[in-house]
Amino acid sequence: MVTGVGIDAGGTLLKLAYSENGTIKYRKSEYGQAESLLQWLKMLAPQAEVYLTGGKARWVKEKFFPDAELKDEFSSICTGATILFSKQADSAVGSYLLVNIGTGTSILLAGKGKGKRVGGSGLGGGTFMGLGQLLANTSDFEEMVNLVSKGDRRKTDLLVKDIYGDGGEPLAAEMTAANFGKLPLGGRDDHMAALVNMLAETLVLLSSQAALAEKVETVVFAGSTLTGNKPFKEALSAYTSMFGLKPIILENGEYCGALGALLQKDGSL
């Protein structure tokens, strides 16, 4: 029996977290299939309490669940992340930085179910899909990730060593001097690898500055853009470690908002 449902209606995806017989389950869909998913949910749980968050929450409320309760997006994300984080890592960490990479990216100071937004960027999953379609001539997420895995960003990015040659570099030789600085060289797989590298570099630079300002040492990454995207997760972890910070990729992190919306009613499972 489904007793409660949290729905995160984001910019690109609709994500559900629902409690069925004491177990939390998850589902998601793109908006092209959203109506089918929500109609299924209404049949599955006609009496369940529904909690909504995200940018399109009001649209879902008006069209499907007029009695649903709206929840603050950032509070929902932080609540869900803290619960998932406690199952994955040392719950005694205290405050941490949560980098939620959805269509765009929000950087939040989180801990113990509370949080505040301390930064963000328009770079995120929308950038990956949008520029990826231009660079790789495909709109398929899995195909894009596969291209990243096969690509070599050094064939597309201009590196410090490309400028200075052998020796004498004031910076590490493999550091990026200019993203996409070697275009039109490289193939579409190399271009996709360069895109992921640019996203990871930029988001980690922003996150490291926020971590320094907020005096935290742990950076937790979440969001639908990371699901099945091993190269992106590896790049985020590697760059975060370079700054002396501890990176954690949150399992089921794409459902932070939905889970938090569901559990804010009582704060516990």
Q: Which of 73, 169, 214, 234 is catalytic?
A: 73
Among residues 254, 232, 252, 251, the alpha carbon closest in space to that of 127 is found at: 232
73 in catalytic set: yes
> Hey, what are 119's tokens?
């930064």
Peptide bond into 184 cis (omega under 30): yes
**Which amino acid, one-letter code, is at 222?**
A
* Closest C-alpha among 190, 208, 186 to residue 198: 190
Buried/exposed code over 230-261 (b: 16+ C-beta within 10 A; e: otherwise) = ebbbebbbebbeebebbbbbbebbbbbbbbbb
| Rounded distance between C-alpha atoms, residue 3 and residue 158, angstroms | 54
H or E segment at 177? strand 176-178
**Residues recognised as catalytic:** 73
